[in-house]
Amino acid sequence: MIAFDLPYLDGWDLRRAPLLERKTALKRLIAGTPIAYSEHFDIDGAEFYRRVCAGQLEGVVSKIANSPYGGVRGSYWVKTTCAHRETLAIAGFKIKDNRFDGIFVGRQDGDQLLYVGKIEHGFEGAAAQELQRRLKPLVRKTQPFAKRILNSAIWVEPRLAAEIEYRAKSANGHLRHPFFKGLREDL
């Protein structure tokens, strides 16, 4: 668990106090507990954002140092997410209620294909139909992943590559907030 801000403390409303005062109180409050403190950095925002994205993190929440607590994103509080891209093998697809419901993708690791996620977003009507048409001749009975995943998909030979945009990777390498950008025809 990570603590970012402290709008109330012991019955006191701190929402009008400047951010840095609230964070100082928060740091004292959680010292010695398992709760992690979200540090405040007073550095160049663009450079910090580049470093965060290069580190495969999800993004940055920027707040004005002397701002009150607004409770929601707004002029004092802006979230900027990183967008990463990766080309991954399509290992299966899913049909739900007679509609295309996404693809299962994997990353090659030597001679093994490792599952990294199900992509459910980025498929528009005609594009989804075309992708399904391209995948049907590749259907196979078993899933191609090195470690079996529990899912009832239509598995395919992993011959088509998809360009996937995502926000971050989990500790086990799975994609967070993935989005299909298209097939990689050049591979």
Distance between CA atoms of residues 139 and 141, nearest Å: 7
Domains 2-81 and 84-183 share a fold: no
Q: What is the pLDDT of residues 54-98, one digit of tens each?
A: 887 888 888 888 999 887 777 788 888 889 999 999 999 999 998
pLDDT at 11: 94
DSSP bridge partners of 139: 156
Domain 84-183 has CATH 3.30.70.2200: no
pLDDT at 147: 94
pLDDT at 42: 84
Distances (CA, A) of 170 to 86, 175, 176: 15, 6, 7
Q: What is the pLDDT of residues 156-182, one digit of tens each?
A: 999 999 999 998 888 899 999 999 999
Q: Provide the CA 63 distance to its chain's centre, in angstroms.
A: 21
Question: What architecture is the 2-81 domain classified under in CATH?
Answer: 2-Layer Sandwich (3.30)
What does the domain layout of the chain look like in residue ranges? 2-81, 84-183
Distance between CA atoms of residues 172 and 2, nearest Å: 20
pLDDT at 108: 94
- Tokens standing for residue 116: 């990294």
- The yes-or-no verdict on residue 127 having pLDDT over 90 is no
